[in-house]
Each structure stands twice: as C-alpha cells, then as structure tokens.
Structure 1
Amino acid sequence: MDNPFPALPPAIRLLGLAGAPGVGKSTVAAALAAEHGLAVVPMDGFHYADVELARRGLLDRKGAPETFDAEGYAALLRRVRGREPSVVAPSFDRDLEQPLAGAIAVPAAGTVVTEGNYLLLDEPRWHAVRAQLDEVWHLHVDDDLRQERLVARHVRHGKTSEEAQAWVARVDEPNARLVDAAARRADRVVDLTGWAAYPAPPAG
C-alpha cells in the first residue's frame, strides 16, 4: 500500500493522531513530520513517572488513561495552539520507559502533530485535550498484526516474550478497547493495514 494518509488540512495548528496501543501512531507522526517538516508532540511525554505511579498505586496499570497528566497535556496544547514562543514539550524515552521534560522545541508557526491513545476519550479530563485539536485522525490496523507488533516492542524494551504477552492481554488490550470505542468521535479513520512504510515485526 502506498501512503494511506489523507491530505493535510490547510492552515491548521494542531493535528491529532489517535489509536490503540501498537497501531503505529509514532510511526505515522514521524512520516508526516519528515514529509512536511512538522514538529511532533507525543502524549507519552505526559506519562506520570514511575515514582508517581507507584505512589498512586498505578504502576501495574502504566499506559491506562489515569496514568497520564491529561490536564498538563491540555495546558501545553493550549499554549501551542496560542502560538506562544519558546514552548518546549516533554518526550518519552522507550528505553528508560520514562518521560523526559523539556525535550521538544515547538515552533510558534505552522502545523504541529500530536499523537496518543486517548485524544478522543469521552471523559472530562480528556475533553480538554480534544478541545485544542483542529482535527483528529483515528488510526486502525488489523488487530492480530497490531498485537504482534506490540508484543515485539515490549520484548525490545526488556520484557520476556511471556511477560510481554501477559502485559498486552492484561493492560494494553483493555486500553485498546477504550480507544477504539472512541473512534466515532474522529474526523477521519485511517486504515494502516498493509502500509509498506510501517515496519514488520522482527522474525523469530
């Protein structure tokens, strides 16, 4: 499949990419950024750090909606939308599995892409996030393929295959069902199944 993306809407400030864990949000964001020279602000930069998740008793649910600082995310997007100068967003290091503060300089002009699971979630604290976005695309891929890639990603970042499969079943898939239930609120649904630029999982 060639590039499956719709044309970028003209003159928008914030484009959101939503979708279930493992669907390819960061891959799509990187492709759009490379093609159009856009900045990318990931929702994952607003993960609570493990020390805070432990304090809240949420460490074993890391990645669920309540393990993110949605209010902080909405506040930063509001600043981006307002084209404030010198906005610097956090990123997320997948090797450390921790957010990194002050990592992404966001330009005051042009379109900015933000990507994350819960941009369309029908909950008050996430409504404030959606309110800052001009358009949101819900990304979809075949579930078996998505889960295979998700397990492979967890293994690359330190879990055994058994641990990865258990985490996907216990944490990621309930989150995926929440995300997919919110797809009706998207401006567009983009099917990535068969997109050649999305890398296949490693063999073995």
Structure 2
Amino acid sequence: MKTLSVRNAVELQGILPRPVDGGRALLGIVGAPGAGKSTVAAAVAALDPGAHALVPMDGFHLADQALSGLGLLDRKGAPETFDAHGYAALLERLRRNPDHTVYAPAFERDLEQPLANALPVPSSSSLLVTEGNYLLLDEPGWRDARGLLDEVWFVDVDPEVRRRRLVARHILFGKTPTAAEEWVRRVDEPNGVLVAATRDRADRVLDVSDWHLT
C-alpha cells in the first residue's frame, strides 16, 4: 500500500469520500495513541464546517465507575474499555441520515470522562469524520463499525515522536512525569502495537511527519 505524505488537510480535500444520492459519506481516521489522528480528523472536518461533522470514538469510553466495576480502570484506553457496540450503533444511525439533529457523546479531557449528547450532528452534514484507535480491529463491535465506514485512513508517525507526545499529554492532564512514563509503557504502547497490526487493513496510509501536530 502506497503511503501518502501530507502536511495539512487541504492536501486531502481532493481524495475525501463523497456522498452518493444525497446520502452521507463516513470517513474513519485511525492510528496508534499519540499519532495525531485527532488533529488530522479535526482539520479535515474544518475544511467545510457547514457540511462536515466530527464524531470521535472517544465519547464511547466507559466511565470510570463502570471500569472500576469491571476491574479495568488501570487499563483505560484498551479496546475492552470502550462501548464498541454502542459506537457502531451510532454510526449506523448517522449513516441513515435522519431528518433531525443527532447528538453524539464526547470525551472531556479535563475530567477524563465521557459526556453524553455533547456533539450535535445536523442533518445537513454530508461527510462525517470519526477517529479512534480501533476502527480497524477485527473484533465484535469494532468490525461492525468498520463495515459502516466508506474509507479508513491510517495516520503514521515516528514511534518516538508518538511516545514523547503521550508522556507530555499525561503530564498536562495531571500525572507526574514518572507516572506518565509508566502509563505509556504499560498501557499506551501495548495498545499502539495492537493498532499498528491493523495498518494493512486501511484504505490509505498518511505519513504526517511534516504536519505540525499538537
């Protein structure tokens, strides 16, 4: 599979999936933790705010209360800590393009918790951009979600750059440097290996090394 080197979203405008017969197109942006998929997805959505809507996968994080009950709080971010079936159900609803606004959940970074009904998706949105780690995972729920997407693009970047971003992100949201390094080693990096194994299932691979990602 050929890798496309991109520096900004404008370079992607000509290859965006197009809606058919007045329907909607659904584009997935996938990548390992810290690859920059959220930045890329937001930039693509911002190319045409009136017609593009952003619906991240992160809104389907299980809340800490649920994770504690499942004994998964220390693995937050792994595939089993998301409501994959709920995510697929939302994509299916959005795919049908109802004649009313649909409200999707978001993820509040300051709280580290999902927020219900936080993202309005108007019926006028012709391209839905969704992003997350596990859009290409061949497992129940995730497999259903992938089947609803017209295309999935894999965001690639140097692994050491990713690791530095992850450590800085965890520190920004309250972890000590030592705790941030430990979380990246124990949780983020194994998840990254899992995501990297799905790379060949993508429709396109984007090298974003020259994109000024945050």
Identify whether the pair has TM-score above 0.5, normalized to the shorter chain: yes
5 Å matches for 1:108-147? 108-109=123-124, 110-147=126-163
Could you say which residue in structure 2 is the equivalent of 1:202? none
Which one of 3, 7, 14 corresponds to residue 8 of structure 2? Answer: 3
How far apart are the structure 2 equivalents of 1:194 and 1:2? 5
Structure 2 residue runs of 5 or longer lacking an equivalent are 1-5
Aligned to 2:107: 92
**1:33 match: secondary structure:** helix
Q: Deviations over 1:142-197 (max 9, x none)?
A: 0000110111001000001110010000000000011010011100000111213x
Give how far 1:33 is off: 1.6
Distance apart, 1:26 and its partner CA: 1.1
> Larger deviation: 101-110 or 91-100?
101-110
Partner of 2:207: 191
TM-score (norm 2): 0.89
**Which residue number in structure 2 is paired with residue 174 of structure 1?**
190
Give the CA deviation at 1:123.
Answer: 1.0
Q: Which runs of 4+ in 1 moved over 4 A?
A: none
Tell me the amino acid that sits aligned with residue 3 of structure 1. Answer: N
Q: What is the Cα-based RMSD across aligned positions, in Å?
A: 1.3
Gaps of 5+ in 1: 200-204
Q: What is the SS of the residue equivalent to 2:117?
A: strand
The one-letter code matched in structure 2 to 1:35 is L
Q: Deviations over 1:77-133 (max 9, x none)?
A: 000000022211000001100000000111223101000000000112210110110
Q: Distance in 2 between matches of 1:86 and 1:184?
A: 35
| Secondary structure in structure 2 of the residue aligned to 1:99 | strand
Q: Confirm whether residue 18 of structure 1 aligns to residue 30 of structure 2.
A: yes
Q: Is the 8 A contact 2:17 2:26 kept in 1?
A: no
Displacement of 1:35 in angstroms is: 1.6
Q: Name the SS for the 1:124 alignment partner.
A: coil
Cα displacement (A) at 1:25:
1.3
- When normalised by structure 1's length, the TM-score is 0.93
Question: SS of the residue aligned with 1:102?
Answer: strand
